[in-house]
A = this chain, B = another copy of it.
Amino acid sequence: MQTAQRASAPRPASLDTVLTYAWGAGEFTATDAMSAVRLTRSTTIEALDTLARLGLLTELPNARAVGDYRKGRPARRFAFHADAGIVIGIDAGHVHLDGMAADLRGTVLARVHTELGIEHDTAEERRAAVGVAIDDLIRRAGRDAGDALAICVGVPAPVDRFGVSPIQRDGFWQRMNPDLVDALADRAPLVRVENDASLAAIAEGVAGAAAGCENYVALLAGGRLGSGVVVDGRLLWGAHGGVGEMRALDHVDGVGGAVGLGHRAKEWAREAIRDGDLDPRGALAALRPEALEGGTVLELAAQGDPDAMRIATQVGTVLARVVRVLHSMYDPEIVVICGGVSSGMGLVVDTARELLATSLDFESPRIVVSQLGADVVAKGAVAAAVELARSHALDLLYPTPAAGA
């Protein structure tokens, strides 16, 4: 017998093509789809019918939409069925947890927010907290467990492409990512665990400052610097997920560590208050150092307070040096400053821009402040989960020939 193993059961490529189009489109006619995917009418309609049968498309009854009347036989109209399932995106930070449930297009259906409390910082409790958040989200979205197609969780630790974090001496990374891929495997068919800054990068790339950009870095700049790196259109991991960890900043002049920009503003301001090193009539001098936050300092700087401005300039100098490193290693077009601190960053960024304008060998990256707010990571997690669902929906739904022995 001449053995001949068929390749893994294929499916019409047209299904994937048409689904990808539909996922990104609103309501559309068969003709719209046909010209978008460049297939013949027969093939396109065949695919549309199949996708509708699988529940991924809805055929809209209104053959002739209101107002939009034209001559000829009325076109069949379809729309992607964004409620065919839900996705879950979670930012599982060190002391807080932000979660969102969304439909298959990423429209948010429900949110949760939990403060974790430093005293519950164990692998077991963290796993449980994430699980509870997921259950909550599904319930609040009015769906049940089986509807969750994809879950993505962001953690403040390096994560490799399989969702595994490297082992670290003090066990911090293991606590932040207590084998979440395995722990969540029974909650959805598709699970992805990812570094938080990488998810910020995804968020910025999908609908933020870096939309359409192939080379950029998302700098999570609040409590601790972390970066999500996209080069040549791809998010980078590295051997252990360590790309962008930036420990090397410890050894860069005038940076001295991966401490975040907000944190620096806070510390310098506190120091200055304590040292009495401020204009006594200024706004900063009046504040209690213990209660001061980095964001406040930057806000004051934006309002023109001279003392705060001096600190903001100092922070800008650090930012310039960080960007210089990023530029020389990753050559990005854009560096997006993300995270909680991003509202009052104007002066900081202007300072950095000015310092970089003349000092780089070639075109310096644009530094922009994220518009996505403190939710970037969770938004990125949702986007990643949507993408996961999109790329695997047919694997899950399309009938496979019964796997024989």
Chain A interface (Cβ within 8 Å of chain B)?
2, 4-5, 7, 38, 40-41, 158, 161, 166-168, 214-215, 231-232, 234, 236-249, 251-254, 321, 324-325, 327-333, 360-363, 365
* With known contacts A41-B4, A362-B158, A237–B243 Cβ distance under 8 A: no
When the two chains form the complex, which single residue of B2, B249, B362 contacts A167, counting CB atoms closer than 8 Å? B362
Query: How far is the CB of A241 from the nearest CB of chain B, in Å?
Result: 7
Q: Which residue of B lies closest to A42 (CB)?
A: B4
Query: How far is the CB of A259 from the nearest CB of chain B, in Å?
Result: 15
Complex Cα distance A248/B251, Å? 11
B161 touches A232 (CB 8 A): yes
For this complex, 21 residue pairs linking A to B, each with C-beta atoms less than 8 Å apart, are A2-B40, A166-B361, A168-B361, A215-B238, A215-B239, A231-B237, A231-B243, A232-B234, A236-B236, A236-B330, A239-B363, A240-B331, A241-B331, A242-B327, A245-B361, A248-B252, A248-B325, A251-B253, A251-B254, A252-B253, A329-B329
Complex Cα distance A246/B328, Å? 5
Q: Copy number in this complex? A: 2
B232 touches A328 (CB 8 A): no
A232 touches B236 (CB 8 A): yes
B40 touches A4 (CB 8 A): yes
* With known contacts A4-B41, A237-B231, A238-B215, A247–B330 Cβ distance under 8 A: no
Query: How far is the CB of A237 from the nearest CB of chain B, in Å?
Result: 6
Complex Cα distance A40/B166, Å? 44
* With known contacts A2-B41, A327-B242, A321–B234 Cβ distance under 8 A: no
Complex Cα distance A164/B379, Å? 36
* With known contacts A251-B253, A361-B168, A363-B166, A239–B333 Cβ distance under 8 A: yes
Q: Which residue of B lies closest to A332 (CB)?
A: B239
Complex Cα distance A245/B327, Å? 9
B232 touches A214 (CB 8 A): no
Complex Cα distance A241/B327, Å? 11
Complex Cα distance A352/B161, Å? 28
Instruction: Please name all residues of chain B whose beta carbon is closer than 8 Å to the beta carbon of A246 when the two chains form the complex.
Output: 328-329
Instruction: Please name all residues of chain B whose beta carbon is closer than 8 Å to the beta carbon of A333 when the two chains form the complex.
Output: 239
Complex Cα distance A7/B43, Å? 13
When the two chains form the complex, which single residue of B237, B325, B329, B360 contacts A244, counting CB atoms closer than 8 Å? B329
* With known contacts A166-B362, A166-B363, A331–B239 Cβ distance under 8 A: yes
Q: Which residue of B lies closest to A4 (CB)?
A: B40
Complex Cα distance A332/B2, Å? 45
Query: How far is the CB of A318 from the nearest CB of chain B, in Å?
Result: 12
Q: Which residue of B lies closest to A216 (CB)?
A: B239
When the two chains form the complex, which single residue of B238, B331, B365 contacts A232, counting CB atoms closer than 8 Å? B238
Most buried by B among A158, A328, A332, A365: A328
Complex Cα distance A325/B241, Å? 15
Q: Which residue of B lies closest to A43 (CB)?
A: B4
Query: How far is the CB of A42 from the nearest CB of chain B, in Å?
Result: 9
Most buried by B among A236, A237, A361, A363: A361
Most buried by B among A4, A38, A324, A331: A331
Complex Cα distance A253/B238, Å? 25
B362 touches A242 (CB 8 A): yes
Instruction: Please name all residues of chain B whose beta carbon is closer than 8 Å to the beta carbon of A328 when the two chains form the complex.
Output: 242, 245-249
Query: How far is the CB of A232 from the nearest CB of chain B, in Å?
Result: 6
* With known contacts A231-B236, A248-B252, A329–B243 Cβ distance under 8 A: yes
